[in-house]
Amino acid sequence: MAKRVTKGNLWGFLQSRPYASVADIRRLFTMEVDGAAPIPTSEGTCYIGLPVDVAEIVRQLWHEGRVALDLNPNVKARVVQGVYPARVPPHRQHYASGPDTGRGEGVESAGSAKRRRRRKRGPDESAPGAITRENSAE
């Protein structure tokens, strides 16, 4: 029986790892897919081997800047082979959490140091074939 795919559980899966291949996503949610669904981007249409409804969720996450698409460079068409969670660079973390978090200057909660370490381990720069929201606007 296939697991139901929602934006929340797909995002939870994607942010729990530094990279998720399309095959991993299909395997986790037990999807049988024969074709590829289009994802319109500012650089052109990308194709992903997921059902149309799940491809739409990936498109929404990309549009929100939460994920980057990893394209296969060996294929002439824009084929998505995986998805990276978008990581906030360390020098922009203050602005990502808002100008006033209610905590005093220099005071960190126990979990904030852990989150900072995870972000540094993640892919801070895009892979050569990755499309991010920032570099697609150029």
76-101 pLDDT, tens digit per residue, is: 999 999 999 987 665 554 433 344 44
Q: How many CA within 13 A on the CB side of residue 10?
A: 25
- 108 half-sphere exposure, CB direction, 13 A CA radius: 9
Indicate whether 109 belongs to any domain. no
Q: What is the CATH number of the domain that holds 70?
A: 1.10.10
Per the structure, how many domains does the chain have? 1
Total-model pTM: 0.63
Region 42-62 average pLDDT: 93
Q: Residue 60 gets which letter from DSSP?
A: H
Residue 120 placed within a domain = no
Assigned domain for 138 exists: no
> Residue 84 domain-assigned?
yes
pLDDT recorded at residue 87: 74
Are the C-beta atoms of 10 and 59 separated by less than 8 Å? no
| Beta bridge partner(s), residue 41 | 44
φ/ψ (deg, to 5) at 46: -105, 155
Residue 79 inside a domain? The answer is yes
Q: Show Cβ contacts of residue 52 under 8 Å, excluding neighbours closer than 6 positions.
A: 37
Q: Is residue 46 part of a domain?
A: yes
129 belongs to a structural domain:
yes
> What pLDDT does residue 128 have?
58
78 lies in which domain range? Answer: 1-91+125-133
Question: Residue 20: in which H helix or E strand, if any?
Answer: strand 20-21
Per-residue pLDDT for 114 more than 70? no
DSSP helix/strand/coil, 16: coil
